Structure 1
Amino acid sequence: MGNITEAEARDVLGRSTGPVSATPLTHNPKNGVTAGVWTVTAGERTAVLKVLTRTKEATGRWAASDDPRHWNYWLREARVYDSGLAQSWRPYGIRAPRLLARVERADGDVALWLEHVRGEPGTAWPLARHIEHARRLGAAQGAASVPDEPWLSHRFLRQYVASNTVGEELLDDDAAWQQPLVRDHFPAGLRQDMVRLHHDREWFLDVMEALPRAFSHLDQWPANVRTQGRDSVSFDWAFAGDGALGEDLGNYLPDSVFDLFVPAADLPGYAARAYDAYLHGLRESGSRVDERLVRLGLCASVVKYDWLTAAMLARAGEERQLDYGGERAVSAELRYRERGLTLAFLAGWAAEARALAPQVGFPEAPSGR
């Protein structure tokens, strides 16, 4: 079974007489820190196995790092579980799967054996459940400061954005914007808005790094959450670290649409209700942070998607478009329409951030002068 040994499975799941079987789970196969993720069953017991590695071949941005502050530090997720930080949001209704075992393997890899959470995946949640998750996230992030651990990611957003360079040269290429998928499905004016966002990138990053901080997951999106009873269970803590208040929500909301879990037509109302819920959670936790700073954190987090427009220009000629994990084909027309509408919505966030920042003491964006 490759990365799954029967002896290890039986040590963790018990010496059942039943056979050991494994089913691969959807994940990002390009990431060099992940050797694989499986649901493993031995007899009547089931767990999730995630193997962390630094020896997997990965090119460019997805290469594993040995730097504990790097956004793609290979051992971070194990550290988050070992320290208990993965469960630090539990009082507010968000928890991680229980860690059943951490196995140091002879080849240097680390196997995380995790509780198999059987609840409804966030990819199938109704909007009301996403909004409740936003409230819980606000309560959790308003209750505590960023832990002082040397292996938590630092300046994640700056590193992540800088690592995404695919298609940057196409932003000013007339022919790239005339490709049928782009021409027919991107809203009018999107080119100007996204080119401006790219040119203002350093300003947005500076703003995000100066805002009030929170312990952040930094990969919050519907595919990384499930229900378990009354709890939200959050997976994949590999990027966890220092973020701005509002940053996790600013990732969760557009990713709900980018990967076709929520229709783009629902995004304006959904985002407004989720932000109000997040702010309500902050106040429930006792946080008295200036609401304008929270709003700025949400809106300025749009800089994370600076790379996406360029990447879509680069991929508009691909005949076959695949979903996350590369397992199934998706409609290229649907993807480009929904993402185009979402990018146009995010351009509104960018404009709001430029207007709001000077009101709370930040310099104006360069292109706004």
Structure 2
Amino acid sequence: MLDTTIRGADFQTKTLHGGTVGGVQLITGNAQTTDGRKLPYKIVLKTQKKWQRYSDPDSWRREYDFYKSNFGALFSESFRWPECYHAEMNEEENETQIWMEYIDGISGVDLTGDMYERAAEALGRFQGKLYAEQPAFLQNLTNLSKAEYMKNFYLHYRSWKRVYDYIRSDDCEIPKHLCSMLIDIDDSADEIINRIEKLPIVLCHRDFWVANLIHSNGKTILIDWDTAGWGYLGEDLASLIADEADVEHMVEYYRRCIPAYYKGFSEYADFSHITDNCVYEMILLMFGYRLVEWFMNAESGNKLQETDDEKTLHIQTLQKIYEIRNEPSPESP
């Protein structure tokens, strides 16, 4: 990282985020060089333990596999991931450790509409370039999620009687027109999936939401690549627009991000034959039942006010998706 020989370093750690199967720490301190200088540093350590994601069992080690490959060569200066300084696998513990660049920038709820739009365009450009050039080594990577992941994810949720039966029950607290929207998707699922499967297959991040986007000096840095793999054109936009959405601007970002995305993609590949982007349908396949689950789980909250606020947010998100349904399809820039 510092491009010189280090003989010692002090450090402090701070947990950034992570769950029961992994964690992310910011490590800061001063390193002593062999010629007596003290150099300040910041570095991120991501530790990931083995776990089983539904229909994607090797996702836990995918980011490690990517960093050990030549995957980083696919990025540009304006759209990239954090640089990796060191990655190692502990086979006995089934655990990876990745030491990577700390990115200082704007992320999450602080992202502006312009930053959303810029990220969508950069993503389209990245996917368009790979779609047009088809780099050989990418085709040979073995640990990539499959194109049918989104379909399997939806079918898995739909088969879960707890959420499936809830939106069809008389006791359901979700407004009826929103339940009908979800039921309509179920009734048309085969036809919708058939339309989606006619779209170009591109390399998707599959967790392309605001917490994984960092805007820094006009550039987009994208973290957490453990769900990445083959998917359909526009699939990542569903996450950008609807995953823990900025509800107030959700419809606006739908209008802005899709044309920006296609503008970036069109720099490398022709999309003129695409008349149906299916982003609205992808949003419902990926987040419809998840929002129902989150709404139902909020009922078990400890604090009444927090529970009500959470449930209201999920209803508002479903309402915005309902409003998106009536939006004209913003296919081209």
- Bucket of the pairwise TM-score, normalised by the shorter protein: 0.7 to 0.9
The alpha-carbon distance between structure 1 residues 292 and 332, as it changes in their structure 2 partners (threshold 3 A), is farther
1:38 to 21, 25, 45: 25
Residue matched to 1:24: 15
The alpha-carbon distance between structure 1 residues 254 and 268, as it changes in their structure 2 partners (threshold 3 A), is same
What is the rounded CA distance, in whole Å, between the counterparts of 1:72 and 1:251 in structure 2? 21
The alpha-carbon distance between structure 1 residues 243 and 190, as it changes in their structure 2 partners (threshold 3 A), is same
| 1:96 correspondence with 2:81 | yes
Q: Aligned runs of 1:1-369 on 2, under 5 Å? A: 14-18=6-10, 20-27=11-18, 29=19, 34-43=21-30, 44-54=40-50, 63-64=52-53, 70=56, 73-86=59-72, 88-90=74-76, 93-105=78-90, 106-145=92-131, 147-148=138-139, 149-154=141-146, 155-164=148-157, 165=160, 167-175=163-171, 177-178=172-173, 182=174, 186=175, 189-255=177-243, 257=245, 262=246, 264-283=247-266, 285-290=267-272, 292-293=274-275, 295-302=276-283, 303-320=285-302, 331-347=306-322
CA RMSD of aligned residues (A): 3.0
Any gaps of 5 or more consecutive residues in structure 2?
A: 31-39
Please state how far the C-alpha of 1:89 moved relative to its aligned partner. 3.1
SS of 1:97's equivalent? coil
What is the rounded CA distance, in whole Å, between the counterparts of 2:5 and 2:149 in structure 1? 36
What is the rounded CA distance, in whole Å, between the counterparts of 2:258 and 2:273 in structure 1? 11
What is the rounded CA distance, in whole Å, between the counterparts of 1:291 and 1:255 in structure 2? 28
**Which sits farther off after the overlay, 296-305 or 240-249?**
296-305
What is the rounded CA distance, in whole Å, between the counterparts of 1:192 and 1:200 in structure 2? 12
Identity %: 18
What is the rounded CA distance, in whole Å, between the counterparts of 1:86 and 1:338 in structure 2? 37
What is the rounded CA distance, in whole Å, between the counterparts of 2:5 and 2:257 in structure 1? 39
Does the 8 Å contact 1:135/1:274 carry over to 2? Answer: yes
More strand by share: 2
Does the 8 Å contact 1:170/1:314 carry over to 2? Answer: no
Any gaps of 5 or more consecutive residues in structure 1?
A: 1-11, 57-62, 322-328, 357-369
Residue matched to 1:7: none
Letter in 2 for 1:296: N
**Which sits farther off after the overlay, 160-169 or 296-305?**
160-169
What is the rounded CA distance, in whole Å, between the counterparts of 2:126 and 2:83 in structure 1? 18
Letter in 1 for 2:87: R
Q: Deviations over 1:282-318 (max 9, x none)?
A: 22x232113635x424233121113224303532422
Q: TM-score, normalised by structure 2?
A: 0.80
Letter in 2 for 1:46: K
Please state how far the C-alpha of 1:64 moved relative to its aligned partner. 4.8
Q: Deviations over 1:194-213 (max 9, x none)?
A: 12223433443343333111
Residue matched to 2:33: none
What is the rounded CA distance, in whole Å, between the counterparts of 2:225 and 2:75 in structure 1? 13
SS of 2:230's equivalent? strand
What is the rounded CA distance, in whole Å, between the counterparts of 2:49 and 2:9 in structure 1? 30
Please state how far the C-alpha of 1:352 moved relative to its aligned partner. 7.8
Number of equivalences: 306
Letter in 2 for 1:82: K
Letter in 1 for 2:84: L
What is the rounded CA distance, in whole Å, between the counterparts of 2:305 and 2:258 in structure 1? 30
